[in-house]
Amino acid sequence: MKINILIVFLVLLNFSAYSQDCNSLLKNGENYAAGDNAISWCDFETQTDYVKCMCDREINYQNQVKEEKRIGDKYNSDLKNLRGQRENAASSGNYKLAIEYIDQQIDLVIKNPVNHPQYFIDNELRTLRSQKKQYENQLGNNENSQNNEQRDSYTQKSNDVTSNKNNQPNDAQDFIDNQKAATVKYDAALEKLGNTLTTQFTEMSNNWAKEQDYINQISSFSQIKSTSVTGIIKEARQKQKQLEDVFNKKARDLDKDLATARTRVLAAAKNETQAAVGELLTTTATVLARRKLEKEERNARQNLERQKERELSKIAEKLKEKYLPIRQNALKAATLALSEDAEEFYLKQYEFAACMMKDADEIIRGGNYCKDPGNRSFKNNSKNISGETYYNTFSRKSNSSNESIKQKAPYFLELALQKKPNNPKWLYEKSQLKNIELIEKLAILKKVIALDNKNVAYGTAYDSTLKEYKKFLEQERIFEEQKAKYGSDIVKKTIIQASNSNYNWAERENVKLVYVPKRNETFFINKQGKTILNTSKYDTVTDFFEGLALVSKDERYGFINIKGETIIPLKYKNARTFDEGMAFVVDVETYLAGFINKNGETVIPFEYIDVSSFSEGLAFATKLKDGKKRTQDYVPESDKNSFYIDRKGNVKISGKFDKGVSFINKSAVVKKSKTSTFMGGGNDKYKYIDTNGEYLFNEGFDIARPFNNKGYAIVANEKFASGLRWFIIDSKGEKTSKITFGNEPKFINNVAIANIGGSSDYTSKYVIIDDTGKVLTNKEYKRIESFKDGLALAKDEYDQSIYLNLLGEEIDNDDEILFKRKENEVLEIEELKDLKSIDELENSLKEIYIQVWKTDDGFLVQHNNQNSNNRGFFNWKGENIIPVKYPWLTPFSDGLAVFSEVKGKYGYMNLQGDSVIDPIYDFAEMHSEGIAIVTLNKKMGFIDTNGKIVIPIEYQAVFAFTEGLARICDNGKCGYINENAEIVIPLKYIMVEPFKNGKAKVSLKKPKKNDYFYINKFGEKVE
């Protein structure tokens, strides 16, 4: 393989120049290192050691280059000699010897002494083996040709003898002359064939050699071996120049080859038509070949640039690792510093280290500068520090803009009080701290007044706190009463939940609905937790809306007031709560829907199959066609008419659709489905209409989402080749971008993660977009995880982890992100901080997680991370109190949730995420009334909230307690057991049902129509 003389010359010239630079740097090392830009690239040392280290590394690198060049020269020389010997053997017809030489070439390539990349080795071996096969075929053809010649000679002689015997030639000389002419013609053809084959083999070999030399050069230019910043940048610059030289030469050779090919094609043309076609083909081939070469050059330059950036990033990471502990220690020192001077210095040190980490990539290139505050020492003799000094430190830190310092402020107030425990001002300050218990606050203020009873502010604070404490005691008394009555803290939890969710008490008659599943009871409580109205007699109950609560009994619906009085009788088949003075109700006999007012009077007639909620003054309604009657819940589409009505029941928009949704931002999505008639009708596409019923534009979509308040909507169309592709349109129905997405973008804070590639893991290309469809990231990623704390973890094409912010920008792996985040920390998602209601929180979580369940304590979420469906838990403040990492997690009941860390083993944890009952069970159910069903070794029983066994784990099946008894089964027979583990009804039944109103349905044999009967809690048969 040929060696590029220019490259060798440049390398030697560069080494000589760099040696001179090193000598110069060594002479002036101190002055160079003392400058503002003296960043220590070589293991981050300084002064002359830095320059010496850098030069030593560069010289070692140059020696390594020379050694690799020597190995490469020998490798290329051996390959060239073997190739020459092989070509000579082939041209002389000795294909057997040529095969031996090519085998030696293959062995040498496989050894790979110059460390070529694997794809290059594979390509070279493929070419050599292909040539070997051609030689083997040629060798076989020659042997067959010799055998055929011998056989033909024998046949010819036999024919000649026979011919001589039968027909003697009239002229023997003519026969001899014909034989000589045939021999001459055969020899000429053989010589022509040999020359052609030799030319073809020579041309193939030369092209192969050129191509391999070209590939070898390009491959070598994509690797950077320098380890210093200056060396990496300089080597990359040199190789970019070398790439330019190689591609310029390749372009010249390509133009020459294409020109030759064009000449041959035109010369072979027999008429103008063939010439025109040949001209077109060669022109097309020229364009394609040049495009291919340009793409190869672009890819080679990009690969080199990526390699350079990767090597520089490694150095930047080392710089970050160096300054991480400096940053952490400086912040810790600032939080503990007593004097303002010391605190300010340590904060500067902290900011310097943070700057070095944040701008590491720019700093190593000399593009940024972080001011180093230097080093200082501060004496700190705690024995001589006064209480006033501690208090002043507390006051200063309380007003600090740094949260870490602010959080440490109370520590210094405690130190001040240790010096002067009876200082009323300092004690009062302590009473005003956040997170202090109410009873402790009251005790402190009582002491403050005893020390200074003349200060009005102290007395006011004490009276206010005392009043608050009495209110707290009264509420706790009510909570205890309710707990004793209902067997759980459900009332207290409801009050806390309402407080956390900004529940509007005034709009709900100042009461809140409570449901106790264990006792199947419902009732309303006030803000103090006192029961105001018991509604347990109803099957279902809602909160109060506009002064009335919707209730049902035996599948009949009506409305009651806060006194429990029936205002609208329970006579409807279905109903919804009141909204702006009207409620949706369904007639029992006709199955048709209408609207009533608070007096039960019909305001919109009962003539609808269904009506959506009113939005922007309109609701989507479906009605039976003339002559049709509704006799069941299901109504065929062909029997329906659809339209939009106003609050008076007037039809406002009709005739264009059979499906629709509520209006949002002055537009609604509707659809006219295809019919099965001969003439058809509809197109199964969703379209947008305005409040006048006019189409916003003619374009339809397979899926359409409502427009947002900025005038953009997410839509999708099904494509035969690519499947369902999503994109964003504006208010005119035009695409905002040519880019489409393989997934439906879920927007949070106006940004979403979108896949602009294919559906498989190999073709996926993820970016971050805004709600207009604009791509915010400046490159594509193999994967981007959901946003947490305003950050999303991404994997680039090299599987390197990168954090992206909400602007799509790559950010530094700051210690706040990578080094302080732990799996069991309570994380607060940035997107959830400013949400004002539980509904907003729920909707935001649904944008992040694949599943969200609302529970009494918060939200249970499930996140699909491609490998598993992990679960976690958020409280009402949006705090991730249980990390989303558990394969199984249930809602909390009796303060505990079932969890699993390893599939197949289950335990229980509390709301703090602590494991209360170890995961040792094969399966576990949620606690109810203080006990839970567990399974171990295919046997079932009950445990309490401490993990203590209350019903032995020895039965084939057990069921939840109802009315004090639980069903148990063993050996195919079932009975009942009480909470004391006593079997009160023997295991003799084949079928048992839970107790309801004091009796249960059972059967002594496999039940048929009349084989079951009822028993009471004593096992006695009853009617």
Taking only the tens place, the pLDDT of each residue in 17-28 is 333 444 444 334
pLDDT digits (tens, 9 = 90+) for 521-561: 889 999 888 999 999 999 889 899 999 999 999 989 999 99
Q: Which of 813, 811, 719, 804 is nearest to 753 (CA)?
A: 804
Q: What is the pLDDT, as a whole number, of residue 595?
A: 96
The model's confidence at residue 116, banded by pLDDT at 50, 70 and 90, is low
Task: Say yes or no to pLDDT of 630 above 70.
Answer: no
Task: Name the more confident of 919 and 199.
Answer: 919
- Report which of residues 572 and 980 the model is more confident about: 572
**Which run of H or E residues covers position 172?**
helix 172-221
Greater confidence (103 vs 863) lies with 103
State the pLDDT at residue 721: 59
pLDDT of 262-294, one tens digit each?
787 777 777 777 777 777 877 887 788 788 888
Residues of the chain with pLDDT > 90: what percent? Answer: 20
Q: Which residue has the higher pLDDT, 712 or 214?
A: 712
Please say if the pLDDT value at position 789 is more than 70.
Answer: no
Q: What backbone phi and psi angles, to 5 degrees, belong to 513?
A: -75, 140
Residue 510 has pLDDT above 50, yes or no: yes
Looking at 251-255, 608-612, 664-668, which range is the least confident one? 251-255
**What is the reported pLDDT for 321?**
82
Going through 705-795 in order, the beta strands assigned E by DSSP cover 713-719, 723-729, 751-755, 766-770, 783-784, 792-795
Pairwise CA distance, residues 163 & 689, whole Å: 101
Q: Which pLDDT score, from 0 to 100, does residue 809 have?
A: 84
The number of C-alpha atoms within 13 Å of 802 and in the hemisphere containing its C-beta is 24
The predicted pLDDT at position 172 comes to: 56
Question: Distance (Å, rounded) from C-alpha 608 to C-alpha 755?
Answer: 43
Rg of the chain over all Cα atoms, to the nearest angstrom: 44
pLDDT digits (tens, 9 = 90+) for 728-786: 999 999 999 888 998 888 887 788 999 988 877 678 889 999 988 899 988 889 888 87
Among left, alpha and beta (phi > 0; psi -120 to 50; other), residue 885 is: alpha
Higher pLDDT, 713 or 32: 713
pLDDT digits (tens, 9 = 90+) for 248-267: 888 888 788 778 877 877 77
Which residue, chain included where needed, has tokens 């939009």?
A: 644
Exposure of 210 by Cβ count < 10 A (0-12 exposed, 13-18 middle, 19+ buried)? middle
| Residue given tokens 């309402």 in the structure block | 498
Which of 807 and 223 is assigned the larger pLDDT?
A: 807
Backbone angles phi, psi at 122, to 5 degrees: -60, -40
Residue 589: other Cβ atoms inside 10 A: 7
Res 179 pLDDT > 80:
no
CA dihedral for 987, 989, 993, 996, sign (positive or negative):
negative
> How high is the pLDDT of residue 769?
93
Q: Which of 180-189, 210-219, 868-877 has the lowest mean pLDDT?
A: 180-189
Residue 372's contacts (CB-CB under 8 Å, 6 or more residues apart) are: 352
Collapsing DSSP to helix, strand or coil, 261 comes out as helix
Q: Given a cut of 60, is residue 797 above it in pLDDT?
A: yes
pLDDT over 50 at 40, yes or no:
no
More confident position, 141 or 987: 987
**pLDDT tens digit string along 381-438?**
656 788 898 899 999 999 988 888 888 889 889 888 988 999 999 999 999 998 788 8
Higher pLDDT residue, 732 or 80? 732
pLDDT at 3 over 70: no
Q: Buried b / exposed e across 173-187, counting CB within 10 Å, b at 16+? A: eeeeeeeeeeeeeee
Token digits for 588?
A: 């029992």
Nearest Cα residue to 587 out of 534, 631, 647: 631
> How many alpha carbons fall within 13 Å on the CB side of residue 970?
14
Q: Measure the CA–CA gap between 314 and 800, rounded to whole angstroms.
A: 11
Note the pLDDT of residue 108: 82
pLDDT at residue 212, rounded to an integer: 62
Average pLDDT of the segment spanning 622-630: 75
- Average of per-residue pLDDT values in the chain: 78
On the question of pLDDT at 206 being above 90, the answer is no
Burial class of residue 54, CB neighbours in 10 A (0-12, 13-18, 19+): buried
Task: Report strand pairing: 897-900 vs 906-909.
Answer: antiparallel
In this prediction, residue 204 carries a pLDDT of 47
Mean pLDDT of 606-633: 81
pLDDT tens sequence across 87-110: 888 877 787 888 888 888 888 888
Q: Are strands 531-534 and 888-889 parallel, antiparallel or unpaired?
A: unpaired
Inform me whether the pLDDT recorded for 484 exceeds 60: yes
